[in-house]
Amino acid sequence: MNIMIVGVGGQGTLLASRILGNTVINEGYDVKVSEVHGMSQRGGSVVTYVKFGDKVFSPVIDKGEADIILAFEMLEAYRAMPFLKKGGKMIVNNQKINPMPVIIGATEYPENIGDKLRENIDLTEVEALDIAKEAGNSKAVNVVLIGVMAKNTDIAYEKWVETIKTTVPEKFLDVNLKAFEMGYNL
Amino acid sequence: MKKLLLGNAAVARGAYEAGVRVCSSYPGTPSTEITEEIVKFDKEEVYAEWAPNEKVAAEVAIGASIGGARAMSCMKHVGLNVMADPVFTVSYTGVNGGLVFCVADDPGMHSSQNEQDSRHYAKASKIAMLEPSDSEECKEFTRKAFDLSEEYDTPVFIRLSTRVSHSQSLVELKDRENKEVKPYEKNIPKFVMMPAMAKARHVVVEERIEKLKALAETDAFNKTEINDTKIGVITSGIAYMYSKEALGDKVSYLKLGMVYPLPEKLIKDFAEKFDKVYVIEELDPVIEDHCKAIGVDVIGKEKFTLLGEYTPSMIKKVVLNEDAPECAELQENIPIRPPVMCAGCPHRGTFYVLKKLGLVVSGDIGCYTLGAVAPLQSVDTTICMGASVSAAHGMAKARGSEFNKKLVSVIGDSTFMHSGITGLVDIVYNKGNNTVIILDNSITGMTGHQDNPTTGMTIRKESTKQVDLIALCKAVGIDHITVADPFDVKNFEKVVKEEVNREEPSVIIAQRPCALLKSVKYTGHCTITDKCKKCKMCMKLGCPAISADGDGVKIDLNQCNGCGLCINVCPFDAITKEEN
């Protein structure tokens, strides 16, 4: 199983990949999680990969090989579209964050990304930012999306909750558990 | 017990299990987390520190080794350039306690200024180099590297690459070996490298390499996997994982865990079994050149690029001529999303002013390198740590005093301590008139908030003496030092104008902490009022929260942290602050 998490630096993709990685390891799979650190984290496009199965070799995912893409932002979802396997599924947070070339007016943010994605692939759109705010913190977008994704796997609800409890800092635990639950029950 | 560990954390674990007692490093992506993980072990068991630069770090580790302890230093590839001086000579002295240098290369330049291949250093300095391909090997190779170091009386390199350092995979944890600190005995012929002694030690180095070559012929680190007999692949590190993913059991493998010295017989025996042999290695043809030098015919860089990272699909296409799976390709060009300075970044105020004044900016390595990105595009040069100061001195000497009045250096607090201070000494000593701006954001930002000699905290967050930048600059002979807040743009502009026009060298300390520090508490958010004349002055800041809205401007509340810089640059007082 190949899961790709894409977003904008600062959106919490790293935590999402860690929750995912730690949950599948408890299921007894071999697992590799590839992360991004340093310069590219500063508001740029970020991509992390979670791969699990009997034996995993490469930590990265090539074009046409992702079973699930978890996208934290519309433009990044669109950029990642070619990585989705035929028959794969994309879950996208419908938030838009303008990249610097758009902000300075050098280019425009592509129109109707949702429609363009739906024409090509199986898409679930989520208003994760609103849900995260409702759960108590706009930063919990990542855990909302993990919740939506969890519903699409064979791994039991409790198992996810267990890892969230061990991965997320104590003082943000309640908000994150709420965010996960709201995403899961969407 | 098996645990999911980052490659870097696994290196730290391996060092811990091997009984490492001293670790000194300077942060640098993708190596930083090794030392950050070492610190998590009991301080009674392992001493760890951030040194001011990699040369100092390596020398601390060398001293600890001579003192009898197992010691390590970790750095990114360009850090190895900084520490190269002691490395080439400690190869001659050898060790007392096991000594390991862990260097992380960055193929694809995710967070680096070049794509150098550190394997060349192993050959040049005649130091054994191991290259793991996943976290389990990171741990085991590091553990074994200390034994190897003591057994062969040599420092040992561990070579990582970004994908190995920053991927998590499963690791089997073991207990720590309780290694006593070895006795220290004065040994002038071994540890005093003046010509007479060094000549004798060079003989030892050459003998040692022969012994290590013999080890390379065994299966200690180098493994053969025989599947099909048509195609053989010689590979190492992350390229092995990509090859396995791409080619599976359709080919046979010689996986080299020791990339210096390389075996001869093992390669010849492997290669003669196959119709075709590929060498698959990222960056330079190090293994390939060795194969060709020993008369083994291999296919390498004529089919594989010298540039960037490899992928399984690239390997599959070259070796098996199989295409990647079909996918939904994009039918249009979409905007790139380059990294940007964060909302609230103190450097934004500095670069806004430097751009406004049209100055030539000699830049350096850190978050503030992003001052070269649109719309600020203020930075003119970035070469290496510290070069902002010394290169500006050179530019001024080349182009004269009028040019110098349009020239500044910008360098972060940590980078200044790393190697900016020596450039400043050069300016004063050689009668330069440069203006150096130290961007003091109270932390090492880019690598993720490491303390440094100017923060007053050690790596373990214990308070310590803090380097006083003003006193330091004074002591080297700078008479004009001004501390200014880069968010007070009017004053900052005035200060910069004054200092660049001065006929003496000067330092401006642009002081404002990194917006991501927990101690920084910006609240609320900024908002555009109906006084806005749509002049778009605020958009010149390149703040990720401010964007065009029709012919006007809007502020994204989710991005804005209320730092207020835009309020200070608006000529019509049209931006105000609202509390959440």
Q: What is the ipTM of this complex?
A: 0.93
Per CB-CB distance under 8 Å, the chain A contacts of B342 are: 10, 42-43
- CA dist B149 and B154 (Å) reads 5
Residue pair B28/B38 in contact (Cβ under 8 Å)? The answer is no
Q: Which helix (H) or strand (E) holds A70?
A: strand A66-71
Taking the Cβ of residue A169 and every Cβ of chain B, the question of whether any pair is shorter than 8 Å is answered with no
Interface of B with A in 38-97 (CB under 8 A): none
Interchain CB contact of A59 with B (< 8 Å): yes
Match 């108590």 to its residue by tokens. Answer: A136
Contact flag B558-A138 (C-beta cutoff 8 Å): yes
Interface touch B328/A45, C-beta < 8 Å: no
Residues B322, B326, B327, B331: is their CA dihedral positive or negative?
positive
Chain B residue numbers touching A38 (CB-CB < 8 A): 29-30, 110-111, 446-448
CA-nearest of B102, B209, B210, B205 to B159 is: B102
Contact A64 B110 (CB under 8 A): no
Question: What residues are paired with B308 via a beta bridge?
Answer: none
Q: Is the omega angle on the peptide bond into residue B261 within 30 degrees of 0, that is, cis?
A: yes
Q: Would you place residue A42 in the very low, low, confident or very high pLDDT band (cuts 50, 70, 90)?
A: confident
Query: Parallel, antiparallel, or unpaired for β B223-225 and B47-50?
Result: unpaired
Which stretches does DSSP call E strand in B342-455? 360-362, 379-381, 407-412, 435-440
Contact at CB, B4 and A21, closer than 8 angstroms: yes
- Indicate the residue of B2, B336, B342 with minimum beta-carbon distance to A42: B342
Give the model's confidence band at B559: pLDDT under 50 very low, under 70 low, under 90 confident, else very high.
confident
Contact B446 A38 (CB under 8 A): yes
- The SS3 call for residue B182 is coil
For residue A41, what pLDDT is reported?
65
Contact B328 A43 (CB under 8 A): no
What secondary structure, in 3-state letters, does B4-56 show? EEEHHHHHHHHHHHCCCCEEEECCCCCCHHHHHHHCCCCCCCCEEEECCCHHH
Query: In DSSP terms, which residues pair with A49 in a beta bridge?
Result: A4, A34
Tokens of B303: 């089919």
Residue B152 has pLDDT above 70, yes or no: yes
**What pLDDT does residue A116 have?**
96
SS3 for B310-351 is CCHHHHHHHHHCCCCCCCCCCCCCCCCCCCCCCCCCCHHHHH
Alpha-carbon torsion (B44, B50, B56, B62), positive or negative: positive
pLDDT digits (tens, 9 = 90+) for B458-510: 999 999 999 999 999 999 999 999 999 999 999 999 999 999 999 999 999 99
pTM score, two decimals? 0.96
B163 and A39 in contact by Cβ < 8 A?
A: no
State the DSSP H helix or E strand holding residue B188, giving kind and residue range, or none if neither.
helix B188-191
Whether B31 and chain A come into contact, CB under 8 Å, resolves to no
Q: What torsion, rounded to 10 degrees, do the Cα atoms B337, B343, B347, B352 define?
A: 80
Question: Each residue of A123-162: pLDDT tens digit?
Answer: 999 999 999 999 999 889 999 999 999 998 889 999 999 9
CB contact under 8 A, A129 and B539: no
Per residue in B227-283, pLDDT (tens digit) is 988 999 999 999 999 999 999 999 999 999 999 999 999 999 999 999 999 999 999
Nearest of B16, B10, B72 to residue B45 by alpha carbon: B16
Identify which of B313, B330, B370 has the shortest CB distance to residue A42.
Answer: B370
Answer whether B188 touches A (CB < 8 Å): no
Residue in A31, A64, A129 nearest the CB of B324: A64
pLDDT the model gives residue B1: 76
Burial class (CB in 10 A: 0-12, 13-18, 19+), B193: middle
Residue B280 tokens read as: 């698959």
CA distance B295 to chain A (A): 31
A108 contact residues in B (CB cutoff 8 A): 335
Cβ <8 Å between B4 and A129: no
List, for residues B206-218, the tens digit of each pLDDT value.
Answer: 999 999 999 999 9
d(CA B515, CA B519): 9
Q: Report the range of poorest mean pLDDT among A32-46, B286-300, B401-415.
A: A32-46
Give the model confidence (pLDDT) of B153-203 as tens digits.
999 999 999 999 999 999 999 999 989 999 999 999 999 999 999 999 999
All structural domains of chain B, each given as residue ranges with its CATH number in brackets, are 2-216 (3.40.50.970), 223-320 (3.40.50.920), 347-511 (3.40.50.970), 525-578 (3.30.70.20)
Instruction: Name the DSSP letter for residue B416.
Output: I
Q: How far apart are CA B146 and CA B153, in angstroms?
A: 10
Contacts of A43 in chain B (CB under 8 A): 337, 339-342, 544
A58-74: per-residue pLDDT in tens? 999 999 999 999 999 99
**Do B232 and B266 meet the contact criterion of CB atoms below 8 Å apart?**
no
Residue B467 half-sphere exposure toward CB, CA atoms < 13 A = 21
pLDDT in tens, B331-343: 999 999 988 999 9
The CA angle B115-B121-B125, to the nearest 5 degrees, is 170
pLDDT exceeds cutoff 90 at B448: no
- Contact present, B380 and B399 (Cβ < 8 Å): no
User: What pLDDT does A69 receive?
Assistant: 97
Which of A24-33, B104-113, B386-395 is the least confident region?
A: A24-33
Percent of residues, chain B, with pLDDT higher than 90: 94
- The set of long-range contacts for B243-250, using a CB threshold of 8 Å and a minimum separation of 24, is B243/B280, B243/B312, B243/B315, B244/A57, B244/A58, B245/A57, B245/A58, B245/B312, B246/A58, B246/B312, B246/B313, B246/B315, B246/B316, B246/B319, B246/B320, B247/B315, B247/B316, B247/B319, B247/B320, B250/B320
Residue B175: closest CA among B207, B143, B137: B143
Average pLDDT, rounded, for chain B: 96
Percent of chain A at pLDDT > 70 equals 98
Check CB contact of A19 with chain B, cutoff 8 Å: no
pLDDT computed for residue B19 by the predictor: 98
Chain A contact for B515 (CB, 8 A cutoff): no
Alpha carbons B386 and B69: distance in angstroms, whole number: 32
Per CATH, domain A2-184 is 3.40.50.720: no
For A63, the closest of B324, B539, B547 (CB atoms) is B324
Q: What is the mean pLDDT of residues B69-98?
A: 98
> Do A36 and B539 lie within an 8 Å CB cutoff?
no
Residues of B in contact with A41 (CB under 8 A): 339
- Give the other-Cβ count within 10 Å of B85's Cβ: 12
| Torsion of Cα atoms, B537 then B538 then B542 then B546, to 10° | -140
> CB A31 to CB B169 under 8 A?
yes
How high is the pLDDT of residue A104?
85
Whether B340 and A43 lie within 8 Å, measured CB to CB: yes
**Could you state, in order of their start, the residue ranges of all structural domains in chain A?**
2-184
Tokens, residue B509 = 């300390």
> Which residue among B4, B33, B547 places its CB closest to the CB of A22?
B4
Residue B92: φ, ψ to 5°: -75, -45
Peptide bond into B30 cis (omega under 30): yes
Instruction: State the pLDDT at residue A40.
Output: 59
A residues 123-162 closer than 8 Å to B (CB):
129, 138
Distance from the Cα of A138 to chain B's closest Cα (Å) equals 8
Whether residue A55 lies within 8 A of chain B, CB to CB, comes out as no
For residue B184, CA distances in Å to B19, B180, B283, B351 come to: 18, 12, 41, 52
